[in-house]
């Protein structure tokens, strides 16, 4: 996308893109999730290990993305809910989207 630019110009363009993405997310009450590892792609969504941008450094969470196939290394802006994970037997699993309304809950993605 920025192949013809110098490294400094690419860095500045990337920083500007990130700032716009962050502004959009915070203005709309969305959380930014960094997708560290996707460990399941299923018909109704995907499971991943994520961390929430701006929260405890190093804190990883299981996340289920209803009706969305996320990609490792991407960042998404989403509304979150939290609950019990029947497949992991853990509390505090993040749920993005809605199973019954078939909505994704992801409102922007980068990466």
CA 80 to chain centre: 10
Distance CA 80, CA 98 (A): 10
Report, as an integer, the average pLDDT of 5-9: 81
Kindly report whether the global pTM for this prediction surpasses the value 0.85: no
Delimit the domains of the chain by residue range: 30-110
Report, as an integer, the average pLDDT of 87-103: 86
The CATH number corresponding to 30-110 among 1.10.20, 2.60.40, 1.20.58, 2.40.50 equals 2.40.50
Phi, psi (rounded to 5 degrees) for 74: -90, 165
pLDDT reported for residue 2: 55
């Amino acid at each position: 996308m920025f192949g013809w630019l110098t490294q400094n110009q690419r860095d500045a363009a990337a920083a500007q893109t990130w700032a716009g993405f962050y502004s959009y997310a915070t203005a709309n009450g969305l959380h930014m999730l960094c997708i560290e590892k996707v460990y399941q792609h299923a018909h109704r969504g995907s499971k991943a290990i994520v961390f929430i941008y701006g929260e405890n450094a190093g804190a990883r969470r299981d996340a289920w993305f209803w009706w969305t196939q996320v990609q490792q290394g991407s960042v998404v802006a989403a509304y979150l809910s939290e609950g019990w994970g029947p497949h992991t037997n853990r509390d505090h699993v993040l749920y993005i989207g809605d199973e019954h309304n078939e909505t994704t809950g992801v409102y922007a993605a980068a990466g």
